[in-house]
Each structure stands twice: as C-alpha cells, then as structure tokens.
Amino acid sequence: MTEQFSLKLDTPAYKGTLSINTGLFINGQWLKSVDPEKLDVVNPATGKIITSVEGGCSKDIDIAVDVAEKAYKTTWGLKVPGSTRGQMLLNLAKLIEKNTDELAALEALNCGKPFGQAQQEIAGCIKEFKYYAGWADKIHGKTIETTENKMAYTRHEPYGVVAAIIPWNGPLTMLSWKVAPALAAGNTIIVKPSELTPLSALKFASLVNEAGIPPGVINIVNGTGPAVGEAMAYHPRIRKLAFTGSTLTGRRIQEASAKSNLKVVTLELGGKSPNIIFDDANLEQAIKWASLGILLLAEIFLQCKYGLSMLRRLSDFWFAAAAHYLQQNTGDPFSGKALHGPQMSSVQFDRIMGYINSGKTDGAHVVSGGERDGNEGYFIKPTIFTEVKPSMKIAQEEIFGPVGVVMKFKTEEEVIEMANNTTYGLACGIFTENVSRAIRVAHALEAGTAWINNYHTVETMVPFGGYKQSGIGREQGEYALENYTQVKAVHINIGLKL
C-alpha cells in the first residue's frame, strides 16, 4: 500500500486539512515504484521537510506506457467521440474548482507561492480545462479540391501516448497547459511533476477517476530527471514530449529524441525578457507593471536621452518605491498579505544570491534589496540594479529570481538592438503612448509574446512560447492543439482510370 499524507493547517489564509496519496498514479491506481525510493518534499518558507513521496524509475515508465497505450487503443483516442472527451474534461474542471482552496494551499506550502496568487493560478487551470473541453469535438480537417475525378481530405489524428515534464515554478498551471490539449486531441499522457513540487499534481491525480476518465489515460509518475525524465525522453513508444524548464535540459531532451524514436518535442525554456519604457510612457503605470516584471524575470530598459535627467531620477525613485513595496509584502505564503514568497530551494536561493553578488562585483548599483530576507527559509529581498551594462552577467543570463536589472538607452533603434542581443526570445514588454512606435517595436523584437502597456497578462486562448533558445512550439489557444495532432491526407478515387 502507498502512503497517505495529511496535514492540518490553521492560518490566516487557509484553515483545513490537506490530504494526498504519495504514490505513483498509474492506470487509475496508486502504486509503489518497482525500485522504491523516497523523495523528500521541502517547505521553502521554512527549509523543513513536509513529507516524502514515492520516487519512480524507468521500469515505472515502461509500465505507464503499457497502460497508456492500451487505454489509447481501447477506451480513449479515436474510440471516444470528441464530445465525450470534452465532457470528461469539464468534469475535471468542476472537480478542480471544488478543490480550489486545497490545491492552492498545497501550492503555497510546496512552492512558496502566496496563497492568493495560488488561488488565481488554480482559477487559470480551471479555465484551461473548460477551454479545451470546448475544442475536443471541433478538431477538424479539410476537404481539398483536386480534380473532378478525385476527392482529398485531411484528418487531425492524435499521436497516441504523449508525455509531459513539469517545472517547479508553476506545477498545476504547467500541468493543465499540457494535459488539457493533449486529452482534448485524443492522446493519453504520462506526467512527471518536478521532484521538488509534486504535491498539487498528486492531489490532481486523485480527481481523475472521479471525473470519469478511464484508467491509463492520465498517469502521474513522480521522480527525478535522471530516473524518470530521461526514461521518458528516450522511450521508443512515447510519440511526443512537452517540457517546460531550463534550456540546458531542453537540449538534452532534443538529443534524446534524435537518439531514440524522433519523438516530437515542444519546449518552453528560459527567458531574459526585455521590458522597454520609453520617455513618453505613463511612468507611474510603467514602473508598477515593471515591478511585477521584477518577480517575473524581466530586464528593464529605460529611455533617458539626457543622462541624469529628471526622468532618470524619478525612475530611480519609483523603482526603489516598488521594490520597497514588494519587500514589505514578502513573507509567509499563508499570511494573507504576502505578494512575494521564498525561492523554491536552497540551490535556487544560492544561485540567485550568486547573481546578486556578481552584479555588485561588476559595479552595478543596488537601488534596493540585494540581500537575504530573514533567517529562516529561502527568502530574498526583491532587488533592483541600475547602472547595468549590457556585458554584465546579470544582464546576459537568466536569473530566475526577484532581481530587476535596469539599463538606459537613447533611441528606438538602440534599444531594439540591445533587446535582441540575447540567445533568448520568450517575451517582451513595451511602454509608450505612441501606438505606431508600440507596434513597430513589438514587430521588431525577437520574442514570442509582446505586451504593450501591460506585462505578463497571459490568456488561455492566446498562444505562448519562445523564439530562439526560449523554445519550440506554442502552448495555449488553438495553436497548442497542433502540438498534439498529426495530419493525415486521404486521397479517394471517384473516377480516375488507368
């Protein structure tokens, strides 16, 4: 028997009992690994172990592929009408909604997300399943005119068994971005949550049977990258793999695909997203959006045509005020007041502090933050660097933490060149009251998403993904369905003679 984890919480934000099974969810059952291993799950707000979960291995992936393949051929896939698949996705959405607070509490406990933010993310997951429930019976091919003696049409067919590897920074969000379109298109799926943040995925797994989804359609296999992720990447019967995470790991997954069965790979990878503030922008609004960007990995470009101008001095004031506001609201994810929680792990904490120390050593100016926050857990004060040069490490590499770097520019042409001088191309922000400039710059920047006078307002129906080394393929919207279907052309002779 697998173990059950239960924890009673009595906090300002959440009062209730959290309960999950800590095993592997395969074929609608909770199982132990073939080669048992326990993975400790840590609360980043305290640095203490919450519980341990079952850690899978390559043999568990073999078992999961077997049952997923059987389910695809017998109780899912093209055997099940799209309308039926859609209803089951709606059932799942309703169950997620019913369990919103518990799922949010698990995200807050395991990931350090403020509880209110976690609730918003769960609401996004519900939208995701509802949206693709609507698509499930609308994935159509086309009839194509050829000649009077021949008919041709296309079918958009599922791959069969697909897989997803989920990051630690948005466990349930990233799971929904992959599972919902995959199932809508008729695939069965095997999901590997991050070994750091598996708890909400395990709670999600407990809802699958209740939603009426047949055994083997959704399988959740906890485990490390080397033990489980690598087995997925190399498996000869997994036809498609979706991954969100680091560019380095994305490269390894592509290499594994090339060395195994040439499985289709979609990747959402790193980013160093430019946030460009022109001198005609609504500065107060721009800085507020930019302060959100500080928590979402943006780098800030500020137009200052005359060096230490009034705009520059005003911007320093606003950036300092924004960082101070974030610092005052950094803390316990269950406090009901926090806007910013801890970093995910001691490794990530040390990595971010290394970048902060690099910025100081290289001569960048710390406007605010730049140090640990408190003595418990993995908290870092939101940090703003000005006087940053494009050649500095903090300007070139993805920090993936609450560190904003501010660089100044004079002309539109200059900032486009600066912003594009990176191996990444995930997203960008543009702040200006000049609509022609806004559109012109959005088109010139090499990024998969451009936000104009806002930042990180992701929508379920709008595609998201990166250029260059920020990824391959798109998630969200109708575009995501292209990742989970393959096109078959059918030619019918209605009068051709030899």
Give pLDDT, residue 443: 98
Give pLDDT, residue 296: 57
Q: Which of 7, 11, 18 has the alpha carbon at shortest distance from 332? A: 11
26 token code pair: 């395969």
Provide the annotated active-site residues. 268
Q: Are 403 and 355 in contact (CB under 8 A)?
A: yes
Chain-centroid distance of CA 405 in Å reads 23
Question: From the CB of residue 367, how many other CB atoms can be counted at a distance below 10 Å?
Answer: 22
Beta partners for residue 42, in sequence order:
49
465: three-class secondary structure by DSSP: coil
Give pLDDT, residue 369: 87
Give pLDDT, residue 306: 47
Global confidence as pTM: 0.94
390: three-class secondary structure by DSSP: coil
Q: What Rg value do the Cα atoms of the chain yield, rounded?
A: 24
Give pLDDT, residue 51: 97
CA distance 126 to 243: 21
| Pick among 3.40.605.10, 3.40.50.300, 3.30.450.20, 3.20.20.70: CATH of 4-269 | 3.40.605.10
CATH 3.40.605.10 location in the chain: 4-269
CA distance 469 to 447: 10
CA angle (445, 470, 433) in 5-degree steps: 30
Domain 273-459 architecture: 3-Layer(aba) Sandwich (3.40)
Residues of the chain under the 50 pLDDT cut: 306-308, 310
CA distance 65 to 161: 7
CA angle (352, 316, 282) in 5-degree steps: 110
Give pLDDT, residue 319: 67
Q: Which pLDDT tens digit goes with each residue over 81-137?
A: 999 999 999 999 999 999 999 999 999 999 999 999 999 999 999 999 999 999 999
CATH 3.40.309.10 location in the chain: 273-459
DSSP 401: S
